[in-house]
Amino acid sequence: MSAPAAGSRTPAVAVGYDGSESSQLAVRWAAEHAAVRGMSLRVVHAWVWPMFTKDLGPVQGVAGSGLRHSAETILAEGIGLARGVDPGLDVDGVMEAGLPAQVLRLAAKDAALLVVGSRGMGGVLGHLAGSVCLDLAGSAPCPLMVIRRPQLPGKPIAVGVDAAPESSAVVAQAAALAAAVGGALHLIHVDQDGNRAPAHGRHTPLRGAELLDYAVEEARRLNPDLAVTGALAEGRAAGRELVEAAEDADVLVLGTHRREGGIGNTVSAVLHKAACNVLITR
């Protein structure tokens, strides 16, 4: 099975599936989100075996054997999981040979959102984000949602804000997600200069607070139906402060702000340590 033609089924949510528990969580989350947003769902399986062997067919005389059959079974399982969430959901499947990040990028080129589990698909154990997540965080053609746990109804959507010009667009995407799931919007700003010694006898401790207040007021003005709150954290390690401030959130939304494809230390730290789901915007 190959990727649908561009423009044939948009907007769509694409989700990676490899049969792991992490990818099962991702498919269920993606199916719920697609249903709420009125989107179609594309379940994607990266078939890696053709890169290592040509012996893909069934064992002679053994029904249901072979690497191709195994991959097709995994994809069908993912599609079934999605339809189990919402039988009326428009779901299709994509199975392509290649490394997971490469296959997912191609399958999501016309998607509104790409969803992956935080482990599996080439990932590592524990709380560390998989290598696929880190790759896609800097290279996905659309926003990337990294799933660690099921949706938590009633919990806020948190978003990191800073002085970057792109920050307003990041907040807008977080607000759209909050509106879709019926949650509040919680803005977090990490003032990395808060503990710095005064310069020339003058110190401006409200600079971080003023930036946060402006962002909160702007979010309220643009989203009058949303409950919007803000929190100011201080610390040199922005990633750690964001993770702690968003511990009780449903999703933490971040922008990469990096044009060259890298994700930066803050996003990397959050992907490694966050307890909640993480949305990396584009």
Measured between alpha carbons, how far is 93 from 95 in angstroms, rounded to an integer?
A: 7
Residue 62: which H helix or E strand, with range?
A: none
Helical axes 100-107 vs 131-139, angle rounded to 10°? 40
pTM to 2 decimal places: 0.86
Measured between alpha carbons, how far is 32 from 85 in angstroms, rounded to an integer?
A: 7
Structure tokens at 204: 């401006």
3-state DSSP call for residue 146? strand
pLDDT digits (tens, 9 = 90+) for 157-173: 999 999 888 999 999 99
pLDDT digits (tens, 9 = 90+) for 181-211: 999 999 999 998 764 545 555 554 447 899 9
Domains of the chain in start order, with CATH, are: 12-147 (3.40.50.620), 157-281 (3.40.50.620)
Mean pLDDT computed over 272-277? 94
Per-position b or e across 18-28, b if 16+ CB within 10 A of its CB: bbbebbbbbbb
Per-residue confidence (pLDDT) for residue 124, from 0 to 100: 35
Measured between alpha carbons, how far is 139 from 116 in angstroms, rounded to an integer?
A: 14
Measured between alpha carbons, how far is 144 from 267 in angstroms, rounded to an integer?
A: 12
Q: Quote the mean pLDDT of the chain.
A: 85
**CA 121 to each of CA 75, 90, 132, 205: distance values in angstroms, whole numbers, following the listed order:** 13, 24, 7, 44
pLDDT digits (tens, 9 = 90+) for 143-160: 999 999 999 999 999 999
pLDDT digits (tens, 9 = 90+) for 25-82: 999 999 999 999 999 999 999 987 656 555 556 555 444 545 777 889 999 999 999 9
Per-residue confidence (pLDDT) for residue 246, from 0 to 100: 96
Cα diameter, the chain: 84
What string of H, E and C letters represents the secondary structure of 173-229?
A: HHHHHHHHHCCCEEEEEEECCCCCCCECCECCCHHHHHHHHHHHHHHHHHCCCCCEE
Mean pLDDT computed over 248-264? 82
Per-residue confidence (pLDDT) for residue 176, from 0 to 100: 95
Distant-in-sequence, close-in-space partners of 197: CB < 8 Å, separation ≥ 6: 203
Helices marked H in the chain — which ranges? 21-37, 67-85, 100-107, 131-139, 167-181, 206-222, 238-245, 264-273
Q: Which DSSP category does 275 fall into?
A: S
Measured between alpha carbons, how far is 61 from 199 in angstroms, rounded to an integer?
A: 80
pLDDT at 123 over 80: no
Measured between alpha carbons, how far is 275 from 261 in angstroms, rounded to an integer?
A: 25
